[in-house]
Structure 1
Amino acid sequence: MEISTIYLGHTNVKMTRIGLGSMPLSIYGRPTQEDAIKVIHRTLDLGITLIDTADAYCLDENDKNYSEILIYQALQTYPSSAHINNIIIATKGGLIRPGGAWETDLNPSRIRQAIQKSYESLGGQKPIPLWQIHNCPQDNKYTLKEIFQPICEAVELKLIQYVGVSNFNVEQIKEVQTYVDIQSVQNVFNLFKRQAETDGLLNYCENNNLTFLAYSPMGGRRKHKKLNKDKLLIHLGEKYHCSTYCIVLAWILSKSKCIVPIPGASKITSIEDSIKALDIHLDQDDIEQINNHKFI
């Protein structure tokens, strides 16, 4: 089966239109390392070439970089070395995990250290394929120019190949683009949160050749179970002979040619189900039904 691909931003690097979100493999309730590696290996077997991670995907600060190290180990133990050369690991930095909490820390010195540590955790042999700042500053402690100085340095030092942002709006992205060339924007997008579609962000990405990485496509741990109870999604799942989750992913894919959902998976069956969405093409009437349906 030939998998649908797009270019990462305005580079000549191809990536599959669905990626693996590694958060469920790495935080509280995660599978064993052995089972997690099996999920990653199955992801590669299926032909998926994008794996999303972050240095903060771990239990706490003592466990920092767990996900990146896990992914590197999975790639090193995968039988086909030729295939892993095409894998894009998209990682992020800028969050800390004191006591298991999630906190933003955009101190330029800490960012510099975070990039170096991610580089080492991913093998330390070649640039990080895609490094993204995890959060936009919520205060005036550091300017975007100050925050992106160590990121620009890391590009020059070949610690990072391509740069992206996460949880940024259009105006913030425009400012960042005056400091560094970016290729991706990773923001939440799902049936419960569609702001990227209404605030112009998705259009901006499409018009400026930026890949939009849609995280939490099922709505997260608290929302995703509701999808299996929604009558419209159940009906469409029966019509297209697939799961309600595949319907959701197909709907997200229909939103823009630049969008790439990154569903998380902690089981092999989950990623096997997600990839089926690439073969589902919803009728326009069905897309409109979903658009107009109220998901709570």
Structure 2
Amino acid sequence: MQFKTLSSTGIKISAIGLGAMPLSLSRRPPEDKAIQVIHRALDLGVNFIDTADSYCLDENDKHHNEKLITKALETYKGDFGSSVGSVQEVIVATKGGLLRPNGDWTVHGEPNHIRRTIKESFEALGGFYPIPLWQLHAVDPKYPLESTFVPIKEAVDMGLIKHVGVSNFSVEQIERAMKIVPIVSVQNQHNPWHRNPEFDGVLEFCEKKNLIFLPWSPVGGGYRYKQLLNVKPLNDLASAKNCTVYSLILAWLRQKSPCVVPIPGASRNSSIEDSVSSLNVVITQQEMKIC
């Protein structure tokens, strides 16, 4: 496994993460199969798992994904393939700030809600140690960003959160957040169809400030990924490198910047295996233009 340093924390995280969201949505696998996927990721040395309080079916199912990860870590009996220590040192990065009314996704940055959901995430993740990385899922325009961050700063001071990240933020919003609490990561959408971070200054800002950039939906989701399978130059390049188009795109993202750590979702062992195999794919600058 290859590793990156999480900003200035000194914490080593695997250069590819596990996006656990597919394990808790409407088409989620049975619990035992879902836990097998997490265990397989650990076997391969993945020590960074991305989740959220809203990765669930609806509000009645809140924190499902966090509880699933906790159960998987507690029941893991394998040989952790990482060189960074025991399974207890796995970095679980969760998020808060979205609601799931009737299965929809809505932003909710009201301070009391943020305060409550942080405590609930702390309990869902075991309730013994600080949440390794907590991220505000999105900015709620109904509330000043500074007021939303009041309970986040409180949680850091109380020892509920160790490190803070942001998601779906602009450079200006990241800078405002950094004035309140240290920020170590940014999670924005980035894939071949959505390349805004390359042009809106976010990726450059992360490099400058030594922040880890976590591209969500790195291959554009299942529907868009299937479209890639019809792009002949991509398939020819993947064939030449003896890899899948999926792992080729992950390698393309990683080569965009040394601060990039993709967090592709997985609901099958083969998916996380393919994700990790992308670390062995090297793309030249000329080949980058094909993707």
Indicate the TM-score class for this superposition, using the shorter chain for normalisation.
over 0.9
1:61 matches 2:59: yes
Aligned counterpart in structure 2 of residue 126 of structure 1, from 109, 126, 129: 129
**Which SS does the other structure have where 1:106 is aligned?**
coil
| Residue matched to 1:174 | 175
Q: For residues 245 and 167 of structure 1, what CA distance do their matches in structure 2 show?
A: 23
Q: How many residues align?
A: 286
| Residue matched to 2:25 | 27
Cα deviations across residues 182-220 of structure 1 (Å, max 9, x unaligned)?
100000000000000011110100110100001100102
| Residue matched to 1:199 | 200
**Which SS does the other structure have where 2:86 is aligned?**
helix
| Residue matched to 2:76 | 78
1:11 matches 2:12: no
Q: For residues 283 and 171 of structure 1, what CA distance do their matches in structure 2 show?
A: 33
Structure 1 position 271, deviation (Å): 0.4
Q: Is contact 2:20-2:50 (8 Å) kept? A: yes
Counterpart residue identity of residue 167, structure 2: S
Q: Is contact 2:73-2:88 (8 Å) kept? A: no
Aligned counterpart in structure 2 of residue 113 of structure 1, from 99, 116, 131: 116
Q: For residues 251 and 28 of structure 1, what CA distance do their matches in structure 2 show?
A: 30
Q: Which moved more, 1:8-17 or 1:109-118?
A: 8-17
Counterpart residue identity of residue 53, structure 2: D
| TM-score between both structures, scaled by the size of structure 1 | 0.95
**Which SS does the other structure have where 2:289 is aligned?**
helix
Counterpart residue identity of residue 84, structure 1: V
Q: Superposition pairs for residues 229-244 of structure 1, below 5 Å? A: 229-244=230-245
| Residue matched to 1:91 | 94
Q: For residues 239 and 160 of structure 1, what CA distance do their matches in structure 2 show?
A: 45
Q: Is contact 2:186-2:213 (8 Å) kept? A: yes
Structure 1 position 289, deviation (Å): 2.4
Cα deviations across residues 163-199 of structure 1 (Å, max 9, x unaligned)?
0000000001011111110100000000000000011
- Structure 2 stretches lacking a partner, 5+ long: none
Tell me the percent identity. Answer: 49
Counterpart residue identity of residue 14, structure 1: K
**Which SS does the other structure have where 1:12 is aligned?**
coil
| TM-score between both structures, scaled by the size of structure 2 | 0.96
| Residue matched to 1:148 | 149
1:251 matches 2:249: no
- Structure 1 stretches lacking a partner, 5+ long: 291-296
| Residue matched to 2:214 | 213
1:49 matches 2:52: no
Q: For residues 6 and 75 of structure 1, what CA distance do their matches in structure 2 show?
A: 22
1:267 matches 2:268: yes
| Residue matched to 2:138 | 135
Q: For residues 224 and 115 of structure 1, what CA distance do their matches in structure 2 show?
A: 33
**Which SS does the other structure have where 1:176 is aligned?**
helix
Q: For residues 10 and 224 of structure 1, what CA distance do their matches in structure 2 show?
A: 34
Q: Is contact 2:235-2:245 (8 Å) kept? A: yes
Counterpart residue identity of residue 189, structure 1: H
Q: For residues 290 and 273 of structure 2, what CA distance do their matches in structure 1 show?
A: 26
Q: Superposition pairs for residues 154-169 of structure 1, below 5 Å? A: 154-169=155-170
**Which SS does the other structure have where 2:164 is aligned?**
strand
Q: For residues 104 and 194 of structure 2, what CA distance do their matches in structure 1 show?
A: 23
Counterpart residue identity of residue 155, structure 2: A
Q: For residues 94 and 257 of structure 1, what CA distance do their matches in structure 2 show?
A: 28
Question: Which 4+ stretches in 1 moved above 2 angstroms?
Answer: 80-83
